[in-house]
Amino acid sequence: MISSLDKPTHFQFSIKSLVLLLISVMFIPAWAEDNPPPEQLPLKDLRLFSEVFHQIRSSYVEEVDDRTLLEYAIKGMLSGLDPHSSYLDKKLYRELKVHTTGEFGGLGLEVGMEDGFVKVISPIDDTPAQKAGIEAGDLIIKLDKQPVKGMTLTEAVKIMRGKRGSKITLTVAREGLNHPFEVTITRDIIRVVSVRSRSLEEGYGYIRIAQFQANTGLQVGKALAKLQKNNKPLKGLVLDLRNNPGGVLHASVEVVDQFLAEGLIVYTEGRLPKTDSKYNATSSDPSDDLPLVVLINGGSASASEIVAGALQDHKRAVIMGTDSFGKGSVQSVIPLTEDRAIKLTTALYFTPNGRSIQAQGIEPDIIVERAKITRMDVHSGIKEADLSRHLDNANGKNGDDKKDKEKSDTDKDKTEIKDNQLYEALNLLKGIHILSLNRIEKDNKTPDKESL
């Protein structure tokens, strides 16, 4: 006899009892099928399920035990709902708990399902998948020559996971390429560094969030404070959310709170009252209204879209890049036993202005497609400063000094500017700073009306 499930949430039953219940449905009078009591399963459909269950038990080419069949049924129910709802068996539930700590084994991919294939939402920074050139939007159609079509996402993820040092060959279809290509990746322990920061140039900072973990908000606060200390004054900041697949909801709220002093950040709506929530900014703004550009792309999903959407609605930042992924649904992990659970979509996210993120995403204020930067060698012509016996500049400037500066700037650009989207974000911040200085200078020169 198969034992009952351990510590079920609402009721206790044995697999055998459930099977007997399903079989008994076959003998319910026909008149009851079309008139099920309120809040109960339709008996006609339940009888159909029971008949399928019975046929598989008795006629399938290989014997399958009742527990396995019921787990298959649960998986089927959840996978048929949406790409993000799933059944978590003992192994997957354990991996989920490990994953949220920021360290897990695998390739370093956040994935979903599309048209029966595994779709890459985003590669995670500094992981085997990213280093192998896997990009957001790629479709994985084979895993070690095994077609993905027909697999559930859970089954595909199981194959991609493996021991550190083991290899797997992915067959990838990419938009813009005529034929799929193969890439072999060596699995590794994935340690996700949530937040990185650095100075782009004097006075301009950069914060990269790779994934939203429990302490991401705190780390962003520390990174911001460090940049403000090392750049006096800090003239502008780039917040990079590209290829960030999301993560912990509260972390995204805490990140937005670093840049807002008040107002709604995000709210959720679902069927159950407990799934309706509102999250608001606190009464402080550590960024001190610093000019801000947020970078997003097709790999920016979920919590990343919450951050971009909130800052866009409050007109607190300029959103730059390409349309985000469009995952605006909330998944709740509901434990069934101590070692099994379901991940169920229970609500939808909405931006402060009431925009649904789901299947639409965040549209940037300024669209900047990803491009490769190449510098052209331009031979400058003869200028006045090159002529012999040219007159010196009346302001005491020396033409040779200007040439030295231009050469220095060119050499600097050659070594540092490789990311065109980041380059455009930095240029925008510089423009905002120049305009603000011009405005201040103009206001200072304008005479007071009372003195006229």
Give the catalytic positions in this structure.
302, 313, 327
Determine the 3-state secondary structure of 76 from DSSP.
helix
* The pair of three-digit structure tokens given for residue 85, joined into one six-digit string: 């709802």
Per-residue burial over 157-172, b if 16 or more Cβ lie within 10 Å, else e, is: bbebbeeeeeebebbb
Q: In the structure encoding, which two tokens stand for residue 314, read together?
A: 């409050």
The answer for 144, left when phi > 0, alpha when psi is -120 to 50, beta otherwise, is left
Q: What is the DSSP string of 226-291?
A: HHHHHSSS--EEEEE-TT---B-HHHHHHHHTTT-SSSEEEEEEESSGGG-EEEE--S--TTTT--
Q: Which pair of tokens denotes residue 432?
A: 């905002």
H or E element at residue 449: none
Between strands 167-173 and 103-106, the pairing is: unpaired
Classified as helix, coil or strand, 339 is coil
Q: Which DSSP helix (H) or strand (E) runs through 207?
A: strand 204-209
Q: What DSSP letter does each residue of 294-322 carry, written as one string?
A: EEE-TT--THHHHHHHHHHHTT-SEEEES
Q: How far apart are CA 304 and CA 241, in angstroms?
A: 6
